[in-house]
Structure 1
Amino acid sequence: MRKIYKISGLILLVVIISVIAIVVIKSKKNKSGSGEDLGRIVMNLENLDYCDIGDMKGYDMSECESLSGKVETDKTITGLYYEVLDKGGRVLKHEDIDVSKEWVIDSVPLSVPGSYVKVCATLSGGGVITHEEWFHNDSFSRLEGLDIDMSDADNDGIETYLELVAGTDPNNADTDGDGLNDYIELIEIGTDPLKVDSNGDGKPDGDDDADEDGLTNIEEARLGTYTWGLFTDEDLLTDYEEVKIYGTDPLNRDTDGDGKDDDWEVDNGYNPLVADNAFITTVSEVGKGTVVSVKVKADPGKLSSLKVSAVEFRPEIPGYMGDGYELVMNGSFDSAEVTYYFDSANLVMNGFAPKVYRLDVEEDELYPIDTVWDHENAYVTATLDRPAIFVILNSAIFEGSGY
C-alpha cells in the first residue's frame, strides 16, 4: 500500500491560507446554570497564523507541536484535560493535563486537514469551563495517538479516515467509476474522485491526459507510470516515447540492462532493447594549434570515466605542431581511434610528414604510432592501444633530429 506523504486535489481541504493573527489570546467566558461566572480558559495563539478555509476557520498548527494557556478562575481546579475532535465532533483523543492554572500540552496530535482541540477544567462545586479552537494541519506525522482508522480496506493507497474526510468510499478503490483509483485522483492529479468528468470536457477523467505526455490517465495508471510527469524512470525518454515509439520499459531507465540509459542508446544509434557488450563514444578537445577527436570503444561501465585534455608540449621540440593530449580512463578499452586536426598551412611544407607519437612518461621517450594521412587534408588518424599522452609532430624533422 502506498503511504500518503503529500496532499493535493480535494484534500486541499488542507492548503493553508495564512493571515497574521489579530487575536493574541483567545478565551471564552463560562457560566454556571445559575448564571455565575466560573472563569475562562485562555489559549496562547500569538505565534500561530489565522486561517479561513471555507467553514473551517482556525489556526495553522502545521509547524507547531505544543499548545499552552491559562485557566482564569477563582474556583479550585479539580481536573484538567484536553480532547481532540474531528469536524463532526467525534473524540479522537482524550488526555489529562497536569492540574495548574498555567497549562501546557507538549505535543498535540492532529488529523489532516485539521482537528478541534478542546481544553476542559473541572472546578470545585461541579462546574466545568471549556474552550475549543479549530487547528489546521497538513503534516501526517501528527496522527499518532489519535483514534482514527488507518486501514485501507479497498487497497487504493488512502487510509480509511482520509477517505471519510474526502467523502470517497473507503470500500471502493474507484469511487466514481471513471477508471482511476481514488489515490490517483486525490493525490497525484487533483481530479474529483466523486465525479466521472471533473473538468466537464465530456470525457471521463481516465481518458484525459493530466501531464500531457500523450498517454491517457488510465493508460498511465495501468502501466504504473506517473500521471503527473513525463519521465517516470528519469531517462529523458518520455513515457509516451518509451511505450509507443521505442517499446522500452518506462519504469526502467536501462531496459536491456547493458549499463547505458535508454535515451543515450537512442541518441547514439544503439538498440535500447538489445544488450551491448561495448559502446562507442566520441570526445573532442581543442588545444593550441591542434584539435583532436577520440572515438573510444569500451565496456559501458568504463566509458563514464573517459576524459581527454590538452597537454602543453615545448615548442622547441623538433617538428612541433601544437599541443598534445592525454586520454584518461579507468581500465582498458577495446580501441581508441584518434583523429588529429592541424593547421592546414603545414600542407605546403616540403617533405611534410605528420605522425602521432605516444609519450612513455617513465622513460620520457616518444614512440611513433601507425598514422594514416591522405596528403591532402589537414588531419591524420591513429589508433591507441592504451590510455596515454600523445602528440602530433612533423616526423620528417623530428626523426632526423636525434631528440
Structure 2
Amino acid sequence: MMRFDSLKGWLDWQESLHPLAIDLGLERAAQVFHALNPDCLKPPTITVAGTNGKGSCIAYLEAIYRAQGYRVGAYSSPHILKYNERIKIDGKPVSDELICAAFARIEAVRGNTSLSYFEFGTLAALDIFWRSGLDVQLLEVGLGGRLDAVNIVDPDVALISSIGIDHVDWLGATREAIGREKAGIFRAKTPAIVGDCDPPASLLQSAIDKNALLYCIGKDFGFKKQMTTWNWFAGDRHIRQIPEPGLKGEHQYRNASAVILAVEVLSKILPVSDKSIRTGLKNSHLLGRFQLINDKIPILLDVGHNPEAVKTLVDYLIRNFPGKRIHAIFSMMKDKDIASVINIMNPVVYDWFFAPLSNPRAATESIMREIFSQSSATKVSFGFNGFAQAYEAAKSQSLENDLLLVFGSFFLVSDCLNEFEKR
C-alpha cells in the first residue's frame, strides 16, 4: 500500500497511477466509496452539472448557506492556485493533512481497483465531508454527469446550469447528446432544476423517464431585472429587490435564479431567510471569472474555454469596456473548439499573444499557428516561452486606456495569478 508524507507526493503518484487522465464510469469509484463508507452516510446534497456556470452556482450556494450560518462543504474542479481549493469547508480550502489522511483511507480500501486522479479527489472530498458534520454538501460535476464520479452520490437536488458544446470526445457533438449525459444526475421524485433557457429535448425526456421533479427557467421560475436590483419568482413565491449578483455578467442572473430555487426546494430540511439569499448572492466571488485586476493597464481574467462561455465574455467586454483596445493573452487545451473561440473573440480583440502552457493537453505553438492562419485574426504574436513573456509583450504594446485580457484556460489563468503572486 502506498503512503506519502506530502500532498504533492500523493498527487504526483495519482497522476501516474491510472492509464487514462479521463476515464468515465461509476463502478470503480462506487466500489471504493462503499468500502470507505458502507452505510453511505451523507449530508443533504446538491449536485451541479452544466457546460458553463457550474462553478458560479456552487459559489452562490456556498455563500447563501454560509450567510444562514450552516456548515457547508463545497467540492469543485479544477483548482486555480492550489489543489486544496477543490475541497472547501466553510469557505476555506481544507488542509494538506486532511486530504492526505483521506487519500490514505482510500488507498487502504482500494485493493486492486485502479482510480483516476479525479476519482481520488472526488472520493477524498466525499470522505472528508461525511466525517465533518456538515449541514449540506455541494458537489460540482467534473465532466458530463451520468458517468462522472460525483454521480455515485444521490443528490437531494440536481441542478444543471447550461448546455453547450464542450468535451465532444466524451459527451458527443450535439446539445441533444450532451443534454442526455448531464441529465444523468437526475433522480426519481427529486427536484431537477434547469437554468438553460432552451434545454434540449433529450434532457426534458430524461427527466420524464426518470420521474424527476423538473423545474425549468422561464417556465417554472424566473427573474426580472429592475434598475439596480432584480426580482425572483416561482409560482406564488417572490423575492424582491435582490442586489446584483457578486459574479459579473448577464448570464449570472440565470445562474442565481436556479440557485435560489434549489435553496427553496430544500428549505424544509434547510430553512434559509430571504436576507441570507440576498447577502449570499451579493457577496459571492470566484477566481478567474471576469476577474478584474486594477493595474495601470487593467487586466481581466476569464477561464472561458468553449464557444458558449466566450460569447458571454464578448457580451461582457462590449458592455463594460466599450471602445477599449483589447490585447488578448491566450491559450487553450488542444481538445477544445479553438477555431470557433478565436472567430467569436476576434471582432473585439485588437491583437493576440499566444502563451504556451506546460500541460500535455495544451495546444502547442504549431497547432495554434495553423488555426490562426485559417482565422480572420491578423495581429498574432508567437515565440514566447510562457505566460510571463507573452504578458510582458502584450503590456509593452498597450496604452493607458487599453485592457489586457487573459483567457482560454484554467491553466493560463492559474499561471497568471501565480505570476502576480510572485511579484
Coarse TM-score class (shorter-chain normalised): under 0.3
User: If each structure's strand is expressed as a fraction of its own residues, which one has the higher value?
Assistant: 1
TM-score by length of 2: 0.22
Larger radius of gyration: 1
User: If each structure's helix is expressed as a fraction of its own residues, which one has the higher value?
Assistant: 2
